[in-house]
Amino acid sequence: MSVEYSDHLKLRGSVALVSFGNTIEFFKTNTRDSTKVAINYEGMEELLLRFTGDRNLREICDSHKDIERETLKNFCGFLNSKNILINSDASYLPTVEKRFGRLIGLIEDYLPRKSLVIEALANLSTSKVMIVGMGAVGTWVAEGLARAGVKNFQLVDDDIVEPSNLHRQNFSNYQVAKKKASVTKERLLTLGAENVEIFDTKIDYDFFSENPPGADLIINCADFPNVDITTDIVARYCMANGIPHIVGGGYNLHLTLVGQTIIPGLTACAKCFEIHMQAQNQDDIFGVKKLNRRNRKIGSFGPLTSLSASITTIDSIKVLIGAYEDLTNNNTRIEFRLNEMDFQREPIPKNLQCPWCGKDGIFSRNL
């Protein structure tokens, strides 16, 4: 990525410099990415610290005449392409920087210039997010997005708060017997949301025809009658209309399963995942007889719920700012294993023969 001599470049706040020998490691503390560069120049650390955004590249070149000007320019272009130097082509409003300073520090890691960060913050503010299901994952996702500056929500749920919800869902004792969506709306408004629309219903195959959402992102956190059906409902609508969506997170026979992020036409779709998992499960259960149990209850733990929701929220932010190349949950099945205290990641690539998004798929003409 090229830079100009008139550009004001700044070393990102998240970047740590580690020097050993003639090598400098640029370590991005937010994303945990690392870039190592062999540099035969003793004054490199001093040079890098001059990139504070208050002087342009020409002025920095003039203060280091022992480096060939064009070489330094190309090096800065490389560091900008690696999201180590950011182009300070705009200034953040003090009020915005005061409230969202940490969020800005994160978004800067995905964009090459401050003007694009400002645009990303505006996208968060103006985008509309629909969340289906105000339960163990949905309530925490809603709060996380509101704290990140999302102002427009659509909440779908007709359930009430019950005492059994309190250990894992974002509700309190005094809210028992109240509508989950209404309680969540009140909470979001205190966090800066401005427009929160409630759909007091369970989702079914007629829902979207009766309630076209106009949302920029739809997140499915509903499991009634089961997560496979709600995933199918949401995914079919979103694939037909080219809407990014996150589906199927939570507890579908798993303690903490992270929902996959789907960008129609770019990533594996819900049907790609279904086909992959059906083939895998068929191998696992070959010759095994399933014994059905009624009223089976799966364990649940509040901090694990919010862990899954936090990962979903981060990918939601990336979707809303257009950072598709940096998504975490796309083309991947992610599950947290409590015994190992670690995430299990299984790649699930886009299926070229998928009946939904493949070459001859039913939604391919919309992609």
Which residue, 11, 18, 53, 20, is CA-closest to 34? 18
Residues 176 and 38 in one domain: no
The amino acid that residue 209 corresponds to is: S
71 and 163 fall within a common domain: no
Q: Classify residue 138: in a domain, yes or no.
A: yes
Q: Are residues 346 and 264 in the same domain?
A: yes
Clarify whether residues 222 and 147 are in a common domain.
yes
Tell which of 56, 87, 118 closes a domain.
87
Report how far residue 336's alpha carbon sits from residue 22's, in angstroms, rounded to the nearest whole number: 40
80 and 132 share one domain: no
Number of domains composing the chain: 2
For position 200, which CATH number holds?
3.40.50.720
Other beta carbons less than 10 A from residue 112's beta carbon: 18
Judgement on whether residues 226 and 80 belong to the same structural domain of the protein = no
In a domain, 121, yes or no: no
176 domain-assigned: yes
CA dist list (Å): 205 to 86, 215, 231, 237, 252:
46, 17, 11, 9, 20
- Same domain as 335, residue 224: yes
- Of 35, 59, 87, the residue that ends a domain is 87
Report the 10 Å Cβ neighbour count for 121: 20
Q: Are residues 188 and 307 in the same domain?
A: yes
Instruction: Please give the model's pTM, rounded to 2 decimal places.
Output: 0.91
Tell me if 147 is assigned to some domain.
yes
Same domain membership, residue 206 and residue 75: no
Is 152 in the same domain as 39? no
Would residue 222 count as lying in a domain? yes
Closest Cα to residue 330, out of 266, 238, 278? 266
143 falls within a domain = yes
Q: Concatenated DSSP letters for 123-145?
A: HHHH-EEEEE--STTHHHHHHHH
Q: Two tokens at 32?
A: 């945990």
The pLDDT of residue 72 is 93
Binning the chain into helix, strand and coil, the percentages to the nearest 5 are 40, 20, 40
Query: What is the pLDDT at residue 202?
Result: 93
C-alpha 132/C-alpha 139 separation (Å) is 10
Instruction: State the virtual CA torsion across 329, 224, 337, 260 in degrees, nearest 10.
Output: -10
- C-alpha Rg value of the chain to the nearest Å: 24
pLDDT reported for residue 32? 87
Residue 96 placed within a domain: no
136 & 79 share domain = no
In the block, residue with structure tokens 């409003």? 93
Domain CATH code at residue 82: 3.90.930.60
154: helix, strand or coil = strand
Verify that 141 and 37 share a domain, yes or no: no
Q: Which domain holds residue 353?
A: 127-285+296-366
In a domain, 59, yes or no: yes
Last residue of a domain, one of 63, 87, 111: 87
How far apart (Å, rounded) are the C-alpha atoms in residues 249 and 25? 36
Q: What is the mean pLDDT of each run of 10 residues along the chain (367 residues)?
A: 91 90 90 89 87 94 90 94 94 94 92 95 97 92 96 96 86 91 96 96 94 94 88 96 86 71 96 90 60 64 84 96 94 88 92 94 84
In this structure, the strands spanning 8-11 and 23-28 are unpaired
